[in-house]
Amino acid sequence: MRDFYASTSGMPLDQADGLRRLFAGRRRHLLPLAANPHVPFSGLILDRLASAYAAQGRAVLVVDAASTSPAAPELAGVDLAACIEQLAPRVAYLPARGLPLSYVDTRGCSGAFIDAVQHAAPQAEIVLLHADGIDLARLLKQRSARPLLIGADHPESIKHAYANAKLLVRRCALMTYDLLLTAAPHSPRAAGIVASLGGCLENFLDATLLGAALIDPALDPQSAPDAALAQLMAGQLALESGVPRLTPRTAPAHPIPAAAPVGATFRPAFR
């Protein structure tokens, strides 16, 4: 017996069905960003990354699911695709605060939310997933990824970045990380922060900080990424594509220029 709702005319079954057919087989990249309430420029970081990938000709979807992000529309529970806003020709945005928790299963995994997002936006080659560490731990429980930690040049933000990494190491066994640090380009603390956080990850979590890039809050998000950010972005895509990373584990890439020694290095408040 034929399903009453089955299409007989070849028309799309829903808003995104035609796009799914068009982009079937395209490689998808998930870039998880661990939200940090102590970083006042998180939106700028998302904008910077999205703009840089879009400039490479890649379609980007920003999924903003942090606790400080806009709430998801009520329609999201019925039609996720209809809630996606097109901000630029290659950049789309989904306000998603609270959505990951609604997809959690009996094992505490909410990875189905990632599947739902990719199903709703099949044209998006890159999904920037901005969420709190606790939500990322549920979302990435059964996935391989190199989370991007977010920080600024003050201790509380770096403590929170470390806490996010600790949560993801313990719950997801994710052992490699990148860092996006918002700071002025000549900040005397930047190099010390990167070295200190990398040391704490290595010494206390047996994890590795593989890449770090500085994002200047005063810089136009549309400007071309510098060498450090370009390297970090390429490394993320290489990881998703199964291409081995050239940087050896024994020599983590911290491309922020060296600075004068920092008087007090960061140490985690808890281990």
Q: 38-43: long-range contacts at Cβ-Cβ below 8 A with a sequence spacing of 24 or more? A: 38/152, 38/154, 38/156, 38/157, 38/160, 39/150, 39/151, 39/152, 39/157, 39/182, 40/152, 40/182, 41/152, 41/182, 41/215, 41/217, 42/66, 42/68, 42/130, 42/150
Percent of the chain whose predicted confidence (pLDDT) is above 90 = 72
Query: What are the structural domain ranges in the chain?
Result: 26-240
Distance CA 85, CA 105 (A): 27
Query: Distance of alpha carbon 50 from its chain centroid, rounded?
Result: 11
The type of residue at 56 is Q
Residue 168 has pLDDT above 70, yes or no: yes
126/248: higher pLDDT: 126
- Please report the pLDDT score of residue 220 as a whole number: 86
Superfamily covering domain 26-240: P-loop containing nucleotide triphosphate hydrolases (3.40.50.300)
Q: What pLDDT band is residue 1 in, cutting at 50, 70 and 90?
A: very low
Q: How confident is the model at residue 256 (pLDDT cuts 50, 70, 90)?
A: low
DSSP string for 124-165: -SEEEEEE-HHHHHHHTTT----PEEEEESSHHHHHHHHHHH
pTM over 0.85: no
Question: How far lies 183's CA from each of 19, 188, 213, in Å?
Answer: 39, 10, 10
- For 47-62, the pLDDT digits (tens) are 999 999 999 999 999 9
